[in-house]
Structure formats: C-alpha cells, structure tokens
Chain A
C-alpha cells in the first residue's frame, strides 16, 4: 500500500525545543529524525512499497513522487526549506490529487501527516476549514474523506497537553472522523526530544508498517513468505457479520484450477539462500504448467497463487485474494466442495487432459443464453411474427423451424395473456394459405390451416388447448414423409 508523507514546512516547525544538552533542536529536526527512522524501516522491511514526500505551508509541493528509492526520499529530507503558514486543506487536496493521478481511486493509501500541531490561523487554517465544511459547493468539497481507501496518521511533534491547550486536538480528531474514522493521531510523550520522537514513530511502524510474514503450506512442504502489500482485514456485511476478516498467517495451498485475475503479491525475502525453498519450486512448476494454485487464507477466505511475469526475464509468485466468502468465483462453485480429482469416479480432466470440470454451469441459463421472448418494443414482436411468416412461405421444407417459432410465440402470448395476438397470427396464417401459389406443395396448405386452427383454439383460453407446456405439433399428412401412407 503506497504512502504519502505530508510534511508541515511552515515557520512554526522551526520553533526550538528546549533540550538539557548543549545542542539546540528545532521541531523540524525532530520530525526529520522520525521520518528518517520510518524510511529506514521501510527500506529494510518494506522495500517494495511506494512512498512519496509532499511538503506544505500555504502552498504544497511534491518533493519526491512515488518511489521505492528510499535514498532519494532521505536526501529530500536533508534539503528541506522553511516556508510561511500552515494551510492543511489545500495540502490534503494536493495529496488527494497526487494519489489519484498515480494510482486511481481503488488502491488503498496511507497518508502520514507530520506537523507540530499549530494548524494555522484565519482563512486556510484547519479551524476555518472545518467550520465551513458543511457550506461547500460541489466543486470545492473538503478533500476528506479521500476518494480512495485510506488511513490518515497524524504525527504531532508536540505532546498531548500542548495540543489540548488549544483546539488543535479537537480539530485533528474531527479530521480523522471526516475520513470515516480511518486513521489515528500520535503525540509525543514526555519532553520533546529525539527519544520520544523515536518512540512515537516506533508506534506508527508497529501499527501500520509491520511486515506481513506467513507460512505457505502444501501438505508437509512449507515455506516462510512475506507478503507485499500487506493484506488488510476486510469486513463484508457489517450487519450480519461485523467482525473484520483477517488473513491467517498460515496459508494452505489446496490444489489447482485455471483462471485469471490479480490483486496482491507475495515475494520472498532477499536473504540469498542456497537451500531449496518450496516457493521457488511451486513457482517454477506453476509457470511451466500454466496452472494456478488455490490458497486458503482463513475460514471461507481463499486466494490463488500463480507465476506473474512483469518482463520476460523476471517472474515471481503472486497471490490474488478473492472476496471473502464460500463462493468467491461463481464458476468454481462452492470452495468447500472442491475435492481431489482422484476421488471422482471418472477423471474429470480426461485421460489425455482434454477436459475440465470448470467452469461450472449455473443451474439456470441467463436470459441472453436462452432465447427469451421480449415484446416490450414493437420491433421485437414484429420480428417474431415475420420469422413465422418467412418459414410459412417455405413449407414443407421448413416445417420444423416453422413450428418451433410458432410455439415460441404461442408460449409467450399465453404467459403474457396476449390472446389477441394468437388470433391475429392465426388470421395471418389463414390468409397465407389463400395466397399460396398454384405451384406450392399441397402439404403447405394443410400445415398452415392446421397451425391457424391450433392457435385459435389456444386463444380461447380453453385449458385443453392453452396449456403452456404443450406444443403444436406438425400435422401428419399423406405428404409428410410418407408416414400416412404406411399407416393405411
């Protein structure tokens, strides 16, 4: 999950901190110290995550765009300048823009605001922004809540008492509430010194940047893995099931199917090891066979593992998480009902691997797959009538299609209670009968009048003739396939 570090560069950050030692610190120095610690932690434990650095005062500036290069970030910290007053709203809007431009709105982001808690005065101050938050017009909405899933962490280079003395604490709390409660405020405990800033950032690291270590298990074959980005807990239906689902650190690899989506990534540690690792074996085989492995992340939570290649040379084992639930992918069916293919009476994959039990077909076909009749538009009805007439002209060759279309229309008309249509079509067929050319096959006339008569009977609503399941069958004549002659 990418991080934006939003650093307060207003003049108040240069306020000196009284330290018993000889050296004099500014709040800014403490902030830089804390951020250095964060970047160092990420460089070692989170090096696949992207971080960007934004500085703000009355204006904001993107110092470092999203990057995995923590040296650049560190360098930027060393070259900070001091500016004027604190205008948080504009800066938050800036963060929102920067994130959306880079990652869109579906990628979750963490925003770390580093400030001294002096949140400005007058116009542009947080107090002012919050007071006017309800009176905004559409295009000048307050940037919170962010349009992307987010966590807002406020790191105050100040202690709680100091913040509570003014309304800063209240304002910051309100800010978190505006973000849907997603986030937390950290303050410094005790005197403002390097040690307390370390402990404050330490807490943030524990909370938001703890690496995700897990064990990937396939029977007795196991491997320790670290997952980037960290899978976050999910709450699905907060009414029935309000407990957030968390990924269990013991992943069970279950078996294999073949499908196609992406979300999360696993990657092994950089500890160059010469001892064989199950992940590498699994990855190699998945890649060669073009298969994916199902992985269980918790009760009723599944995902899949597969080989993902960014370029042709580099590939790694990726894990995609499905939505928590017992049936995340409808075409795989209920996950708990997936069992070993060897238990099936017949190999569902075929002796020569030519078949597959997937995808599972739904019990009922969807409307677009079953030739439904819809007459909402006049054209729909007209097309269906014309189809019948077209086939009527080609009797007896088209007898089968003629009756098929006729029965389709009959069924729909009966269901819709549209008996008038049945009568009308019957009349049309009778007229077709009278218009038959002399060269026409004698069977055509028989079939047309038979069909017309059956439709008329159905339109009477008489249950004997208007049964839905019943079909009009072609009339057996002496001409139709010689069947009649045989019977004599």
Chain B
C-alpha cells in the first residue's frame, strides 16, 4: 500500500443528533447469576444500547484493529456532529490511540434526546471532515520537505466514514452532494495555502444504522464515482452485531487485511484445571502474510467462512505445541502485526499473553495427508505480536559452502575471542531523536566513527601481534582508542608503559608467536623491540586524536629501551622528525591512513626477521655446516669486540672460530659493509634511512 493512498487519512463522522439516542432494541441480559441462585428475586430488566453506543463501540473497534496493525502512518480524525462539530483529535501521530478517543468521547456523552432536532445535523460533521482532509499531516509535510522539487508527488487522498441514521435515499443523495460541493470549495481554498492540500481522491462510506426489528429506509449501494474526486458507497446496517460485522469487513477492505484462524489451541478449562480443550482464535493482519496461498491456490482448501465475520474468508492454521524454548533462526520472508478479532475473549487473551511472555508458536497448514508443512510463526517483539511468514518450500540458500573453503579460511589463529570482545564494546543502543552531538552527527554516524577509531590498528591473527596477547597492555589498548582522554586516562597509559619497562628490566618472557619458525624464536631483547614497535604503531595511529594521546606516545618514546647508538641517531634525526610532525599535522587525511603503511612496514620487518632467524636456526641445527659468522655478534655486544683485545684467557672455541674465520675470509670476497665498517660495525639499510627518514633505526637491526 502506498503511503499516501486513501487509507492514509480516515475521517470518522458520527452522528450525535437526538435520534441517535434511540434504542437499538438489541437486549442484553446482564443479570444472569442471580437467576439460578435465589428464587424470590425478580431479575432486572435487560439493558439495550442506543444507536449512538453501537456506532461508537463499532467505530472504536475499527480504530483498535487499525492501530494494532498500523501503529503509524494510518491516521484517524474523529468527528462528532450535532448542532455543532466536535473534533475529538487531530492528524498528529501522538493523538492516534484509542484511549485518547475514549476520553474525548466520554466528554461528549450520549446524544441529548431533548435537543432541538431542527438545528442538529450530520452535515456539520461532513463539512468538517472535508476541511480536515485538506489539512496536511506530519507525514505529508515531511515527505514534501524532503522531496523538494518533486513535492507534487505527495498526494492528498482520504476516506470519510459516516455513521448516521438517514431518513431516506434522497437524504443520502443530499449528504453526498454536500460532500462533493464542500470538496470543490475547499480545494479552491487549499490551492492557495501552504498548510492545506487540495483533495485528489476521496472515498465516502455512508453507514446507515437502524434499530433492530425495523425496516430500513435506505438502500445499500455499491461504490459509485460521483466525480473524478469523490466516490461514494452506502451500507444500510442493523445496529448491534450486524454493524460490528460490517465495520470489521470494512476495516479489512480499507487496509488490505486478511484473517487467519489459529485452530487447535490447547487451553486449560477454567472449571477443571486437569482437562484441556482446543480453541480457535481469529487474527487479522496484512494480506501479504497470505501471499503464498493467494498466488498458488485461489481456492485454497483451508479457506472457509468464519463464524464471526459473515462472508469474509479466513485461513485456518494449526497450532504446533512448542517443544523447547530454543531460539532458532527460520527462513522468514516477512513479519506482520496482528490484531485479534475478539480481543478480550479468554482464548484470545490466553494466546496473546502466551506470546507476549516471549514464547513463539509455529503454525502448520492443516493437511489430510503428506508431511507437516510449517508456514507461519507467531512471536512477539517488544510487546507487539507479529505473524511471521516462513519459507515452507525449498530454499535457494541450502547447502552453502563452509566459510573455511573461502579466502582466509585456512588461517587458524584468528583473534576470535578478541573480536567478540570488540563487538561487545561496539554494540549499538537506541538514542532519543533529540540527541545530536556537538558535530551534528547522528548516532549511527558516531557508531561508524567509533568503529573507524577502534580498528586503526587491529591485527586479525594472533601471530601478527604481541601487544594484544599481553595482559599488561590491556589498560592502554582500551583507553587509546577513545575519542577523548582524561588526565587520569593518560596516567593509566603511562603506568602501563612503566609496567612494561619494568617487565623488560626483569626480562619477563613475552608471548611472541613462534608460529612459522622453528626453534625458540627471537631473543628476549629482540622480543621487546618488536613489542615496543607495535605499541608505538598502535599509539601513533591515534596520536592525531588529541594532545593527550600525543602525551602517551611521548611517554613510550621516552621510556622504551634503545641501544645507545640508536639514541644518538635519534637525536640527530630529531630535527627531521619534527619537520615531519609538522607536515603530518597539516595534512590530516594522509595521516589517517598512516598506520596501514606503518604496520605493513612492521609486518615486513617482522617477517624478514623471522625468515632470517629461521634460516639461522636451520643452519645451527645442522652439524655439518659451520656457524655463520654474522651470528656471533647477535649473542651479546661484549663479544663483538675482537678477541685479541679481550682480557683474560681465550677459550678454545674462540681460537677455533678465529682460525676458521681467517681461513674462510680468504675464500671469498669481503663484504662491502665489513670493509667500510668502523670497529667492525657497519650501518645496514642506509638507503632506507635516506628514503624513509628516521624510522629505520627503530626496527632494531641497524646495528648489525
């Protein structure tokens, strides 16, 4: 249904003239209990509703069903007419509920039989209804303002349902003519106004109500076009349950509803708690919930005439007693709100309470033979019950391939638990409409922004990271991703860094992954270098967020261990780095992507390291090959000094190594680096330093 169809606006016009106070002559016995109890008592006379009461309760029922199924965008304007017009509510969404209407109706009260019939007429109400249909609703307004240049696509259509007691067919003609004239008048007025819209289409539904036992003075008439704008239909109905039935059929026609009867609902008997009987409950909902039946079998076999609502059809579905409370995902193709036809009957309220308490009921198509076909499910969400349509045929989604067959499916050390934690930290919650933050971002934009911040440095697998495997880093890692840091937060981060320094001093082992390389992996100081580098990468990714974030980075730079030569080089490079900082601050966009390259570089370095190590390890493990010379200086800096200069006795190993070294050196050309070395130390990757600035020394390998 299009949003601005005739059903967008419904104006109820109820006649409040003296003749509506007449009795419907449908008698209701309310003195039932006493009959059997005490013989001596004369039962009270039965009560009977007035035409007015009948009209009100049936129109309220119409609204109840409408609001249950369409809580928004389908609006009712309720008008009562006697010698004047009483408009009980407006098109505003906040006015759209039955309680408010009931309160207003109580204030109006029943028609006064002593009022002068001459000055009372339903015409006042009809005129007011047309005027009201010209008034723009908040939805029309919103659409017009958002569409701007195509605002003329927003249509203005509506329906007037008039509940009255007409004198004759001529009287009905007169009412129709009046509506037609008023529309023409009002459309002229509306053309020149901003808050009004001309009516493009109007459906007039006249319901003539007459007391039981009387002959009707008005004949039924099918829908007829009175003009290009107005169509009209007349229903002549006896008061009481006939009227209720009629309005029930109308609400279904007007709002594309269909009926489903749930059958076989087991219910404990009120009197005998041990026995249970089966009951039926009829529900109304949008017609689309039956789309499968309508399309496949026009004369679907479980369609039958419902007892309650006259001629209309209902689909019967069988209750399947829920086995467990397990949450299962079903192939659901749609969910539609429901409204029970007989809302406060015991079977209805039992069913709705069961559902409102969080249980779900699967519904089965009644079949004489063959396997069970479950086609629908009833379940509530947030106090509203929905009829879910389940796919009962074969699904095109069957037998999907396993995710492990796809890209990255064979990687086994994903940080599944950590990402679960990440997801829980990034969960969403609804915010009130009015809450907009300083930067005018909607909550959902803020959520995306938060995701961006939280993922600036987020290695996906365990072997790619050290710091995220360390409990000690957690406080810093949690804080640094925040948009703003307090001084206390900075302090916590600093404490984390000091704690790491302490760990390094004590040479605590680090959870460096040894995956992919045999042996023990890198040495302790190497491990700490990797850890510090990664921590810097993480913090650097957030350094632009605020000055306090910068302070955390400063703390790391100040505290992290570096070989003395590196410190020196650092000083030399500082000037250059400062320059870089400035450029970084100038161009924030480039900085945002900064971590990617950083981490990539880090990854590269780590991999290179790993490769080298594993190579070394392999060679070391093999007894046949001599230990490579460049392995030596790695063990300790002291040993880098030539053995000749060392004091004390020379070990056999040293003697042997020296000999071999000399022998070997004759067999190959000396490395260019070793030739130009100072104190047998040469700077590696000098070209990198020129290309990338100071980052080079931080990979911790420049000394070799």
Interface on A for B, CB 8 Å cutoff?
Answer: 1-2, 48-50, 66, 100, 102-107, 138, 147-148, 218-221, 223-224, 229, 237-240, 242, 252-257, 260-265, 267-286, 288-289, 291, 293-294, 296, 306, 308, 310, 313-318, 329-344, 348-349, 353, 357-369, 371-382, 385-386, 389, 411-412, 414-421, 424-425, 427-428, 431, 435, 461, 466-469
- Answer yes or no: B452 CB below 8 A from chain A CBs: yes
Q: Mark B360-394, 1 if CB is under 8 A from A, else 0.
A: 00000000000000000000011111001001111
Chain B residues with Cβ below 8 Å from A336 are 442-444
Determine if A316 and B400 form an interchain contact, defined as CB atoms under 8 angstroms apart. Answer: yes
Shortest distance from the beta carbon of B241 to any chain A beta carbon, whole Å = 7
* Cβ distance A315 to chain B, nearest Cβ, rounded Å: 7
Complex Cα gap A427–B45 (Å)? 10
Q: B96-110: which have CB < 8 Å to A?
A: 97-99, 102-103, 105-110
Q: Add 11 more A-B contacts to A276-B414, A288-B416 (CB < 8 A).
A: A267-B400, A274-B411, A279-B403, A286-B423, A294-B428, A337-B432, A340-B446, A380-B345, A411-B102, A418-B47, A419-B110
Q: Say whether B424 contacts A254, CB under 8 Å.
A: no
Pair B30/A385 contact, Cβ less than 8 Å: yes
A283 and B403: CB pair below 8 A?
Answer: yes
B443:A374 contact, CB within 8 angstroms:
no
B406 CB contacts on chain A under 8 angstroms: 267-273, 277, 279-280
**Interchain Cβ contacts under 8 Å between A and B, 28 examples:** A50-B396, A104-B391, A218-B451, A219-B458, A220-B455, A261-B329, A272-B405, A275-B408, A288-B417, A314-B399, A314-B400, A316-B401, A318-B397, A331-B384, A332-B430, A338-B429, A340-B443, A343-B431, A344-B431, A349-B429, A357-B429, A361-B382, A369-B352, A369-B383, A382-B29, A418-B50, A419-B110, A420-B47
Q: In the complex, are the beta carbons of A147 and B296 less than 8 A apart?
A: yes
Least Cβ distance of A246 to chain B in Å?
A: 19
Complex: A342 Cα to B155 Cα, angstroms: 42
Task: Tell me the smallest distance from the CB of A296 to a CB of chain B, in Å.
Answer: 8
Q: Is the CB of B430 within 8 A of A337?
A: yes
Taking Cβ atoms with an 8 Å cutoff, the residues of B that contact A are: 2-4, 28-34, 38, 41, 44-45, 47-50, 52-53, 56-58, 60-61, 64-65, 67-68, 71, 94, 97-99, 102-103, 105-111, 143, 147, 153-155, 241, 244, 291-292, 295-296, 298, 327, 329-333, 335, 337, 339-340, 342-345, 348-349, 352, 356, 381-385, 388, 391-394, 396-411, 414-417, 419-420, 422-433, 442-444, 446-448, 450-456, 458, 460-461, 464, 595-596
Q: CB-CB < 8 A to B3: which residues of A?
A: 237, 239-240
- B48, B57, B103: the one contacting A374 at CB < 8 Å is B57
Closest chain B residue to A469, Cβ basis: B103
Of all chain B residues, the one with the shortest Cβ separation from A335 is: B444
Q: In the complex, what distance in Å separates the CA atom of A255 from the CA atom of B443?
A: 12
Complex CA distance for A104 and B430, rounded to whole angstroms: 37
- 8 Å CB contact of A240 from B34, B153, B442: B153
Contact indicator A240/B56 (Cβ below 8 Å): no
Evaluate contact between A310 and B398: CB separation under 8 angstroms: yes
* Chain B residues in 8 Å Cβ range of A1: 396
Contact of A380 among B337, B344, B446 (CB under 8 A): B344
- Establish whether residues A220 and B447, one from each chain, have CB atoms under 8 Å apart when the complex forms: no
Q: Would B410 and A104 count as touching, CB distance under 8 A?
A: no
| C-alpha spacing A296/B402, complex, angstroms | 24
In Å, the complex CA distance between A276 and B404 comes to 11
Residue contact B447 to A377, C-beta cutoff 8 Å = no
Q: A293 contacts B423, CB within 8 Å?
A: yes
Cβ 8 A contact of B430, one of A221, A223, A306, A333 = A333
With A147-B295, A339-B447 known as contacts, the answer to whether A270 contacts B405 (CB < 8 A) is yes
Q: Are A427 and B401 in contact (CB under 8 A)?
A: no
Contacts of A420 in B (CB 8 A): 47-50
What's the Cα separation between A306 and B397 when bound, in Å?
A: 14
Residue of A nearest to B327 (CB): A260
Is the pair A257, B348 in contact by a Cβ cutoff of 8 Å? no
- Chain B facing A: main interface SS: mixed
Q: A262-B329, A316-B400 are in contact. Are A416 and B57 (CB under 8 A)?
A: yes
Q: Assuming A254-B451, A360-B430, is B382 touching A372 (CB within 8 A)?
A: no
- A339:B383 contact, CB within 8 angstroms: no
- CB pair B382–A359 under 8 Å, yes or no, is yes
A428 to chain B, nearest CB (A): 6
B400 CB contacts on chain A under 8 angstroms? 48, 265, 267, 308, 310, 314, 316, 318
Query: A283 — which chain B residues lie within 8 A by C-beta?
Result: 403
Contact B106 A280 (CB under 8 A): no
Contact at A357–B430, with CB atoms within 8 Å?
yes
B411, A261: Cβ atoms under 8 Å?
A: no
CA distance A385 to B381 in the complex (A): 33
Contacts A240-B154, A316-B402 given: A367-B339 contact, CB under 8 Å?
yes
In the complex, the answer to whether A468 meets B431 with C-beta atoms within 8 Å is: no
Q: How far is the CB of B356 from chain A (nearest CB, A)?
A: 6
Interface centre among A256, A329, A368 (most CB of B within 10 A): A368
- Tell me the nearest residue of chain A to B422, going by C-beta: A285
Of the candidates B60, B342, B394, B453, which one forms a contact with A377 in the assembled complex, judged by CB atoms under 8 Å apart? B342
Q: Please, which residues of chain A bring their CB within 8 A of the CB of B30? A: 381-382, 385, 421, 424-425, 428
B383 touches A435 (CB 8 A): no
- Output the nearest chain B residue to A468 by Cβ-Cβ distance: B106
Distance of A390 from chain B, by nearest CB (Å): 8
Contact of A289 among B53, B404, B420 (CB under 8 A): B420
Residues of chain B contacted by A349 (CB below 8 angstroms): 424, 427, 429
Given contacts A105-B295, A288-B417, A386-B33, contact A338 B451 (CB under 8 A): no
C-alpha spacing A447/B403, complex, angstroms: 72
- Closest chain B residue to A147 by CB distance? B295
Residues of A within 8 A of B34 (CB): 431
Whether B403 pairs with A338 at a CB distance below 8 angstroms is: no
Residue of A nearest to B244 (CB): A376
A301–B164 Cα distance when bound, in Å, is 46
Partner of A280, one of B348, B409, B431: B409
Contact A315 B420, beta carbon cutoff 8 Å = no
Nearest neighbor of A280 in chain B, beta-carbon distance: B408
| Contact partners of A467 in chain B: CB under 8 A | 106
Contact of A344 with B453 at beta-carbon distance under 8 Å, contacts A274-B408, A277-B411, A366-B339 already known: no
- With a CB–CB cut-off of 8 A, which chain A residues contact B407? 223-224, 268-269, 271-273, 275, 277, 279-280
* Whole-angstrom CA separation of A278 from B460 in the bound complex: 7
Which B residues lie within 8 Å of A256 (CB)? Answer: 423-424, 426-428
Contact B381 A359 (CB under 8 A): yes
Nearest-neighbor residue (CB-CB) of A306 within chain B: B329
Q: Which residues of A contact B147 (CB under 8 A)?
A: 240
Report whether B381 and A331 are in contact in the complex, using a CB–CB cutoff of 8 Å. Answer: yes
Cβ B57 vs Cβ A461 within 8 A: no
Closest beta carbon of chain B to A459's beta carbon, Å:
10
- Flag if A255 contacts B106 (CB, 8 Å): no
Determine the distance from Cα of A280 to Cα of B102 in the docked complex, in whole angstroms. 56
Q: Which residues of B contact A428 (CB under 8 A)?
A: 30-31, 44
Shortest Cβ distance from residue B315 to the other chain A in the assembled complex, whole angstroms: 15
Q: Report B-chain residues with C-beta under 8 Å of the C-beta of A288.
A: 416-417, 420
What are the residues of chain B within 8 A of A284 when measuring CB–CB? Answer: 414, 416, 419
- Residues from chain B with Cβ under 8 Å of A274 in the complex: 408, 410-411
Name the A residues within 8 Å of B107 (CB-CB).
468
Interchain CB contact under 8 A, A276 and B408: yes
Q: How far is the CA of A357 from the CA of B430 in the complex (A)?
A: 7
* A106 to B, closest residue via Cβ: B333
Nearest to B40 among chain A residues (CB) is: A435
Query: Which residue of A has the minimal Cβ distance to B456?
Result: A220
Chain A hits for B352, CB < 8 A: 368-369
* Residues in B neighbouring A265, C-beta threshold 8 A: 397, 400
Q: How far is the CB of B606 from the nearest CB of chain A, in Å?
A: 15
Residues of A within 8 A of B330 (CB): 260-262
Partner of A382, one of B28, B38, B433: B28
> CB-nearest residue of chain B relative to A357?
B429
Query: Which residues of B are found within 8 Å of A366, using beta-carbon distances?
Result: 67-68, 71, 337, 339, 383-385
CB distance from A60 to the nearest CB of B (A): 20
